[in-house]
Chains A and B, each alone.
Chain A
Amino acid sequence: MARISSDRFAGLLFILFGGGFVFGAGAYDMGTAAQMGPGYFPRLLGGLLVLLGIAIFASVKTSAGRPSAGSLPWRAILAVLCGVAAFGLLLKPLGLFLAALLLVGLSSLAQQRPRWGEVLLSALVLAGAASVVFVWGLKLPLPLWPAFG
């Protein structure tokens, strides 16, 4: 989205979402107004969203649009997403303590120059605190350690 104004992009996004819902709802029974099927409401709103998207897209004045959105902070986005995904997927096999270490470590990659000593220390503290608060204190049924540790 380097050259496109953010308003145009927003319009396109809404058109895409609305269209997607209209298209997806095609598989469901439409019904009538008196006996609405599961497809009625989504199709109605999806159509409305497409119209709104078109209006947003069209209302951009070619020269006076908001400046383009610029580049995305990929590093931060990826680090946060990977950290949380890894935590979710590995909590069961690894247990809370190790999964928490992993989450803190991976999400620290979002910083330009992580101070690794500090990261390790805070990871240990956070993992320990989370284990105490959630497993011991709030008694959430989470595994604390790997199953075959």
Chain B
Amino acid sequence: MDLLANLALGFDTALSLQNLLYCFMGVLLGTAVGVLPGLGPLSTIAMLLPMTYALPPVAALIMLAGIYYGAQYGGSITAILVNLPGESSSVVTCLDGYQMARKGRAGAALAIAALGSFFAGTVATLIVAAFATPLTELASSFASVEYVALMVLGLVGAVVLAHGSLLKALAMIVLGLLLGTVGADVNSGTARFAFDVPELMDGFNFVVVAMGLFAFAEIIRNLESVEAGQTVLQKVGSLWPTRAELRAAWPAALRGTFLGSLLGVLPGGGAVMSSFASYSLEKKLAPHPEEFGKGAVAGVAGPESANNAGAQTSFIPLLTLGIPPNPVMALMIGAMTIHSIQPGPQVMTSNPDLFWGLVASMWIGNGMLLVLNLPLIGVWIRMLSLPYRLLYPAILLCCAIGVYGMQNNPVDVLLILPFAVLGYLFHRLGCEPAPLLLGFILGPLLEENLRRALRLSRGDPTVFLTRPVSLVLLLLAAGLLLAVLLPKVQRGREQVFVEED
């Protein structure tokens, strides 16, 4: 009954007054910022990250996880009430959630989203707890060869699941890996691409890169599109779903939870993928598929449960292997390194309180979302009606203070600017920035392990093919890549993402 003992330790940690407070703050702030139109979870986390610098590591990670769930639920609120997806995982929620809102069932849609998310969160937390130990044991047997293969698989997964051109996504990953090489070389200490700027000796700071590429580029993008008078639906209606709505919702939530938990673990998977997949599944299974897009309850319950389950199980590869399956988890890795925790299989043994505390706080955070958000819905609606011209200077200010506060160095603030321009440019050129961030975070790890693997094999690259685990992982990666190139899959892939554009 190791699991129970571990969970007990986790709840012991997470239920300390201090950690409860930070979890609460995280969920609250995450929702408050996430509800703002045009701010996705990545930007929200990047913007709020500086608030956690001064906290002890456990509290900081618990708060960040809370921010993540909060931001995601905030995005759903925006999707349902304004028909504006704050982030790609709530695009699907727009389709039926907004239609429900137009029928006066906004309250019910919000409640179903919250209940579905809570249910999914509960199941996913148990899954994380159950799978963490065996996966960690597996991962501890990995040598650098296996790590290289695993990272290649992760990066290829990110390409396959990014939408848009495959070549561009590949190029973005490689560019990310290259940007990751900036700074002192681990083996020789040579300063690479630092141009004698002392701040670049440690490489680009990931907060700077993420803020520039996501938060700042988003602001420039939003400023460009002339502020349209958004109509916020003020009438929320009863929060209580009717019996018929509940009956339609729960099987969808169940399926969404299962699907999301599965997809969250996959490299490149996570919330976005899960919600899209669940929506198409529900549409296929529904007795009246023509209701979808017109306010079908299952079209809200399924994807909302799926994206929350996916959001949580995507912590599994991060916590057990130290490899982020998606950009949000890449940011979490960055946050862990700020608190000098090296993510990977050793976290569970060296910081069991952090590991299990985080797992337990996932469930607590989801519970808080439920209790917190439904009564506060009026406040969120008021935040939604803030005009963008007042919002964006506040976001810029928060980001700038946060980056400055990392090291009290003005150069860090200036370094955001090229990434902001680059992020905006990439958007115009149809290149997704998410794979770049993933490559950037994994770059140094990949290089280090590649060098070690080849040193041990005396420069023989066939070592990646002769070790069975590595061979399987690389074959999977090759299979994924080939599968996307098949015309049939390619069409399907376009279809999955077509609703997003």
Contact = CB atoms under 8 A, between A and B. Distances in A.
Contacts of B417: 81, 84-85
Interface stretch (B96-104, B239-247, B289-297, B404-412): B404-412
Contacts of A91: 404, 410
A6 B430 contact: yes
Contacts, number: 179
B284 interface: no
Interface residues of A, number: 68
A117 interface: no
B393 A34 contact: no
Contacts of A85: 413-414, 417
Interface stretch (B218-226, B300-308, B317-325): B218-226
A49 B179 CA distance: 12
B193 A24 contact: yes
Contact of A84 (B168, B181, B400, B457): B400
- Name the prevailing secondary structure of the A interface residues: helix
Contacts of A55: 167
A13 B423 CA distance: 13
Interface stretch (B74-82, B169-177, B229-237, B332-340): B169-177
B188 interface: yes
B167 A42 contact: no
Most chain A beta-carbon neighbours within 10 Å: one of B405, B421, B428: B428
B188 A37 contact: yes
B174 A48 contact: yes
Contacts of A36: 187, 450-451, 454-455
Contacts of B224: 73, 76
A126 interface: yes
Interface string A62-98: 0000100100110011001101110111011000100
B35 interface: no
A38 B185 contact: yes
A78 B13 CA distance: 47
B211 to A, nearest CB: 10
Interface of A: 6-7, 9-10, 13-14, 17-18, 21, 24-25, 28-29, 32-38, 40-42, 45-46, 48-49, 52-53, 55-56, 59, 66, 69, 72-73, 76-77, 80-81, 83-85, 87-89, 91-92, 96, 100, 103-104, 107-108, 110-111, 114, 118, 122-123, 126, 130, 134, 138-142
